[in-house]
Amino acid sequence: MTHLDYPARHAASAASSVLPGPRTPFPTWAWTGELDAADVAALSTMWRSLLEERPGSVVIDLSAVTFLDCGVLSVLVRANTDPVTRLLLRGVPARVELVMQLTGLGTAFARAATAGLREAAPPPR
């Protein structure tokens, strides 16, 4: 199943917490396990709650994701369009990268390096 690290004050049923990102000033939201259509509503709700805090950037760590379907990818696409909060992906596994490449989204997301926060150039919009 899935574990979503997210602020406890926002989580309804998911056991979760958001921590300041390791070596970053931005909140890091760690996704783990298999993420599919059953997770889309919860992910979308949590993202909207996180946006209420208006962080300048949010790092989503995908390093422990073993499966991600197109429905979950659509959550990332919507999150990537927020005009105030910049979405940065960290630790994108090869399987998730393949899904992004196959859907034409391989370069759509900015990346945060795993050692410190070295941001990639922003993707073209």
pLDDT in tens, 100-124: 999 999 899 999 874 344 444 344 4
Residue 71 lies in a domain: yes
Q: Domain limits at 77?
A: 2-111
Residue 80 lies in a domain: yes
Q: At what angle do helices 70-79 and 40-51 cross, to 10 degrees?
A: 10
**Residue 21 belongs to a domain:** yes
DSSP 48: H
Q: Does residue 119 form part of some domain? A: no
pLDDT in tens, 44-66: 998 888 888 878 888 999 999 99
Arithmetic mean of pLDDT, 56-83 = 91
**Segments of the chain assigned E as strands:** 2-4, 19-20, 27-35, 57-68, 86-90, 110-111
Residue 116 lies in a domain: no
- Counted domains in the chain: 1
CATH number at residue 28: 3.30.750.24
